[in-house]
Amino acid sequence: MHRVLAALMAVASCASIAQAQSLASQPAATTENVVTLNQALALAGTVSPSLDSAAAGVRAAQEARTVAGLRPNPSIVVESENLVGTGQYRGARSAETTAGVALPIELGGKRSARIGVANSQRNRADINSAIAMADLRLRVTQAYVEAAAAEQRLVIARDQTAIAENALKAARTRVTAGAGAPIDEQRADVLRVNAGVAEQKARLALDVARGNLVRLIGKPIDGALDLGWFRSVREGAYGPQMPVRADGTLALAAARADVDTASAQVRLARSQRVPDVTISASARRLAATNDTAAVVGLSIPFPLFNNGAAAERQAQAQRDQADAERRLANLNVEQDIAGAQADLQSAAASARAAGGPALTAAAEAARIARIGYAQGKFSQLDLLQAEQSLAETRAGYTDALSAYHDAEARLARLTSTPSDVAP
């Protein structure tokens, strides 16, 4: 009679475990205020120092364009001759004072070349701003995925703790009824302790992950994360890959902007080889006769030691370097996109398998093992093996989901265009 009662109690405890497992595998339904990924991205965009830095860079580039369009300032020239000499030049009696204006005149298209450099640099600043936005989206998404995965792992750890506690109760009941060996109870108690430690580690990992996310969004997270989104896998993520092309991506746009800037620098260096002239017009007063005369001057530098050829060759070499880096960026981006696509497909397939047939099979095996153990048909080792397989499958499912969302975020970052992240 005692063995029958023990078996019934074990079956009842196993049924409660199965119910907990079933509930844990479903999307979380809670009345808490759920913080979605889009909300996290919006909050991060308002407090990010990287976006502030990029915006300041755009403003600086705009002002640099204004500076580049300015013409050279004129100079006021004042000079006095025949002062403090001897004889008739003693004092200021024979002084000749000249006052006038000198106006530099740029030749060779220097102003338009400067404007061309400034325009290309302003375009590069706009691309830098888009890159900062895309990088922030990637960083926040990865932090959100890490926190959601940690939250899911804590759910699993709590379930494992409940399973271990119920398994200990079942083992203790069997031992009391004489249907099991005392070592079964000891083994179950060890598993309960280990499950509690694992739950504490999962809780600490969640605190760290949520803390990292809070630092990015600048606001405490009062509610739960969107585990429904975390457990979802986009349709088509495991289908045919998209063509791998780097055209239009932020990385290639930045490389092309660098080439444009380098080309504009070549034009500027070439224009600076043309000497500028300075025209001056002055009025001279002769103190001895109190007469006034006009003075007109023309100044042209003579490029004897530096004719600008070396600077032009330097600019041309830098343009060649920028073009080579553009071609290298094209190869790297296409390689990274192909790798991210492969990671995305692999993670999506793993997530669907682990969260579908594999999880169903592992849960059914554990359910049968619990009932069989309660009826004395299976040993405790069989039960523990089935429970361990289920725990590993659920953990693998979480890891696959985390890898899937990470790959999806990286692929979105790699294929982002300037228009995709425009404010």
Distance, CA of 398 to CA of 152 (rounded, Å):
7
- 292 lies in the same domain as 326: no
- What pLDDT is attached to residue 421? 66
- 180 lies in the same domain as 299: no
Q: What are the average pLDDT values for consecutive 10-residue runs of the chain, which has 423 residues?
A: 37 40 42 83 94 96 96 91 72 80 93 96 96 96 96 91 81 74 79 90 95 94 90 70 78 96 97 93 82 90 91 96 96 93 91 85 85 74 80 90 94 89 60
Q: What's the one-letter identity of residue 55?
A: A
CA distances from 118 to 21, 62, 252 (A): 63, 8, 20
- 37 lies in the same domain as 98: no
- 242 lies in the same domain as 286: no
Distance, CA of 170 to CA of 192 (rounded, Å):
12
Give yes or no for a contact between 10 and 170, defined as CB atoms under 8 angstroms apart.
yes
- 205 lies in the same domain as 295: no
- What pLDDT is attached to residue 296? 92
Flag whether 296 is in a domain.
yes
Flag whether 400 is in a domain.
yes
- 245 lies in the same domain as 147: yes
- 94 lies in the same domain as 116: no
Residue among 191, 182, 192, 180 at smallest CA distance from 378: 180
Kindly state the tokens that stand for 101. Answer: 């204006």
Quote the domain boundaries for residue 289. 72-105+275-307
Give yes or no for a contact between 423 and 136, defined as CB atoms under 8 angstroms apart.
no
Flag whether 397 is in a domain.
yes
Kindly state the tokens that stand for 365. Answer: 């095996």
Residue where one domain finishes, among candidates 307, 330, 354: 307
Distance, CA of 150 to CA of 122 (rounded, Å):
42
- 265 lies in the same domain as 240: yes
How many structural domains compose the chain? 2
- 401 lies in the same domain as 258: yes
- 381 lies in the same domain as 392: yes
Flag whether 250 is in a domain.
yes
Kindly state the tokens that stand for 267. Answer: 């034009």
Distance, CA of 185 to CA of 189 (rounded, Å):
6
- 326 lies in the same domain as 384: yes
Distance, CA of 387 to CA of 180 (rounded, Å):
19
Distance, CA of 300 to CA of 105 (rounded, Å):
10
Kindly state the tokens that stand for 98. Answer: 């000249």
- Please report, for the domain that includes residue 52, its CATH number: 1.20.1600.10
- 58 lies in the same domain as 203: yes
- What pLDDT is attached to residue 189? 83
